[in-house]
Amino acid sequence: MTAVEAAQNQSYRLWHDITNLNSLIFEMYPEVLQHEYHTGNRYTTAHASYTTLETRIATPKDAIQEEIDARDAEQAQNTLAMHSTAYMGGSSGTGLPKIKLHTFSGDFKRWGSFSQLFSDIVIDNALLKNSQKMHYLKTFTEKEAHQLIGNMPSTDDSFEPAWNLLKNRYSNPRRVVASHLEDLLVGESVPARSAAKLDALLLSNQKALDSIKAQGVPVNNWDLMIIHLTLRRLPPAVREDWETSLGLTDTMPTYTQLHEFLKSKVRAWENLEPASEPKKQPENHKSGGSRSDKQPRTKSSYTAAQYKGKPRRNCPLCPEEHYIHKNFN
């Protein structure tokens, strides 16, 4: 990595000197406008070469940086797992899987789960110093979230301001609720007899409702609205079956009823999906041996097989097998 950065810095300094020299030439020697240096676009050609060189240097640099970031993230996961096991009193003999903390990129809907898990594993871990917590915070953030704290040093004094900065940015209940409402209002229609798509719709609805409820918003009286939004995304045949199931009752249905009805549809569609048929064996793998084990056909047997099943042409005037005109030759 040092060699790549050194080459990039050297090329930058060299081009910086060339740019200054080019400006100086035009200031001190006006006659250069008639010179081949200017008419032949020497500076422009050199700039194109410099740009190409920078691109070639930056490409391996980015690849190396990605490899370093991936290695650092993996090392941080392993170290964090070790600290977390010690902190929570666990041991390798418990049989529990390691808790993997996923990176946070700035998605408002994911902040709640990330902040809770990060607090449980890192912030509340008495074995970690604030500088270590800051290192983990920078390691497990990316994109917009990382840009907020990426330039802050990994010191004891930086962790609390960095954590508060993220909390103030992403602890936005109105934004979270709006995001989940969007999931309820907008979505793909369910194709006919697609068990996977219908099950995904039910899961998305439940996740959105639970998340909105977790923000302190009462959703107990939303049944009719959720039913309407859900029915809009269903195939006509399913909507008809739902109306038929309600019968002549005037009682308003609940979303729980619709959810159970659609879960039964998912189960029925899954059971009716055709099972994968076993592959047919190739002709030469059938029982009875391969073709090479069979007796080769002779010309006579081939001729007999060729004419097997053809109608006999008996002469109407005699018992021989020939056309009638043969009797007059």
Q: How far apart are the first and last CA of the chain?
A: 102
Question: 281 lies in a domain?
Answer: no
Q: How many domains does the chain have?
A: 3
Q: Are residues 192 and 165 in the same domain?
A: no
Q: Are residues 66 and 144 in the same domain?
A: no
Q: Are residues 261 and 192 in the same domain?
A: yes
Q: Are residues 258 and 223 in the same domain?
A: yes
Pick the last residue of a domain from 117, 151, 171. 171
pLDDT digits (tens, 9 = 90+) for 61-70: 666 666 666 6
Pick the last residue of a domain from 272, 298, 320. 272
Structural domain containing residue 267: 176-272
Distance of CA 160 to the CA centre of its chain: 33
Residue 205, φ and ψ in degrees, nearest 5: -60, -45
Question: 246 lies in a domain?
Answer: yes
Of the candidates 144, 145, 138, 142, the one whose C-alpha atom is nearest the C-alpha of residue 122 is 138
Q: Are residues 209 and 233 in the same domain?
A: yes
247: left (phi > 0), else alpha (psi -120 to 50), else beta? left
Tokens of 115: 């902040």
Per DSSP, helices labelled H in the chain are: 2-28, 36-39, 42-87, 108-118, 130-139, 143-149, 156-170, 173-185, 195-214, 223-231, 236-246, 255-272, 299-307
Pick the last residue of a domain from 272, 299, 323. 272
Of the candidates 213, 219, 216, 195, the one whose C-alpha atom is nearest the C-alpha of residue 273 is 195
> Which whole-number Å values give the CA distances from 75 to 82, 121, 139, 282, in the listed order?
11, 16, 10, 51
Q: Are residues 71 and 7 in the same domain?
A: yes
Q: Are residues 34 and 73 in the same domain?
A: yes
Q: Say if residues 149 and 138 touch (Cβ distance below 8 Å).
A: yes
Q: Say if residues 227 and 242 touch (Cβ distance below 8 Å).
A: no
Q: Are residues 202 and 231 in the same domain?
A: yes
Q: Are residues 167 and 180 in the same domain?
A: no
Question: 243 lies in a domain?
Answer: yes
Question: 125 lies in a domain?
Answer: yes
Q: Are residues 145 and 202 in the same domain?
A: no
Distance of CA 306 to the CA centre of its chain: 59
Q: Are residues 257 and 184 in the same domain?
A: yes
Q: In this predicted structure, what is the pLDDT of residue 329?
A: 55
Its pTM surpasses 0.85? no
Q: Say if residues 227 and 262 touch (Cβ distance below 8 Å).
A: no
Q: In this predicted structure, what is the pLDDT of residue 243?
A: 92
Question: 38 lies in a domain?
Answer: yes
Q: Are residues 185 and 248 in the same domain?
A: yes
Residue 67, φ and ψ in degrees, nearest 5: -65, -40
The segments of the chain whose pLDDT lies below 70 read: 1-4, 59-99, 275-329
> Which whole-number Å values give the CA distances from 306 to 298, 299, 301, 303, in the listed order?
12, 10, 8, 5
